Amino acid sequence: MTEMKVISLDIPVLPLLSEENFISGEKLSSELSLSRVAVWKQIQKLKQLGYHISTDARKGYRIISRPDILFPYEIYQNLSTAYIGQVIYYFPQLESTNIIAKQKVLNREEKVPEGTIIIAEQQNAGKGRLGKKWFSPPGGIWLSLILYPKLTPSYMPIITLMTAIVVAKIISALIPTIKVQIKWPNDVLIDGKKVCGILTEMSVVAKNIGWVIVGIGINVNNNLSEFPEDIQRNSISLKAVTGKEIPRRKLVQHLCVEFENQYERYKKDGFLFILEEWKKYNDTIGRIIEVDVGNRVIAGEAIDINDKGALILKTEDGKSLEIISGTILRYY
């Protein structure tokens, strides 16, 4: 097992610092009941993490700029959700956010609220669909979201479709000049290349879903030249599209807000709107495809998705097949 590198985030001075005003070391010391030396050490720690902090002997400290680090405190700022993203566990590096999320929901002593997020700067063994590895270098957004939907397992694919819609929406809002599409069931594409992958896992309790973990990986500021060659050909990042760095914290905030909006709407209105929204970004229906369903490869025309998120495939002999889970190998 890869050793997990965890940076201590016990830096209580951070919430008291701002870009607008200086705050004196004396006031920080008084507010936090810390010595002036302890305050100074925390300021140095923040500088080591990439915070640019102005220091004035008379005025104190003021933040000049913040690093592109996905600290929970930075994400919490101005986050307008009721529960999605209100609890965040942050890791600079780990094997897989889905693995940590699963450990937390299985730990009966730890009550993990719905909407809890596990987020990492880098994954060493990110999980993709069908056991595939998801390449997760620094610069992307790698997170897992914990949900407790009141659903039967047959509706699990809908959660995946909804998540893809959320990601497509926030990217479209960020870069309105590009066309974002979704390849069934879980790939978000730009110019036919993958910018985001989604992996959903669940438990079943008494024929109902006990918990769902939604793993989301978005290529944001990744350097594509560092990707393995076979992945590089079919991948794209938001930085590559825009030519500039994207503020990841804001993107995570937008994701939390949009996910909560969509999730609450499904609770109120059901799933029909999700199917309608998904079709707006569709890159699969109407195409001739080859899909790997695990034990065989099936070819035919993708003609629709049903109310449970399954793909309806019309084969050459005229039969209509329901594909609940699979990977599209080719499409024309």
What residues form the annotated binding site for biotin? 96-98, 123, 194
| Contact in structure between 74 and 66 (CB atoms under 8 Å) | yes
What are the distances in angstroms from CA 30 to CA 13, 39, 160? 11, 10, 49
CA–CA distance, 104 with 25 (Å, rounded to integer): 38
* Of 68, 53, 43, 44, the residue nearest 19 (C-alpha): 53
Q: With beta carbons less than 8 A apart as the criterion, state whether 136 and 123 touch.
A: yes
* Sequence ranges of the binding site: 96-98, 123, 194
For CA atoms 118, 119, 123, 128, give the dihedral sign.
Answer: positive
- Best CA proximity match to 212, nearest among 165, 248, 259: 259
Q: Is 271 left (phi over 0), alpha (psi -120 to 50) or beta?
A: alpha
Side chain identity at 65, as an amino acid letter?
S
Distance, first Cα to last Cα, the chain = 41
> What six digits make up the tokens of 252?
């995570």
